[in-house]
Amino acid sequence: MSSWQHHDSFERKSNEIKSVPRLLDKLDVSGCVVTADAMSCQKVIIDKIRDKGGDFVIEL
């Protein structure tokens, strides 16, 4: 699944650290593996993925 379909629902000047948690609120990641770059290696983002039943791979 791509998150691209949700790109218009976020402010153009927002940064990734603020946008990713809001995007995760809109997505059902239960049973999915979320992949992201090092910018998403934030406790709040990882916790949200885990809390929603997803797994993750963060590329550093």
Residue 1 has pLDDT above 80, yes or no: no
**Sign, Cα dihedral of 6, 34, 12, 17:** positive
Is pLDDT above 70 for 9?
Answer: no
pLDDT tens by residue, 33-52? 999 888 889 999 999 999 99
Residue in the structure block whose two tokens are 């995007």: 23
Q: CA angle, 29 as apex, 54 and 45 as ends, to 5°?
A: 65
In 3D space, the residue among 55, 52, 57 whose CA is nearest the CA of residue 23 turns out to be 52
Can you give the pTM of this predicted structure?
A: 0.76
pLDDT top residue among 24 and 60? 24
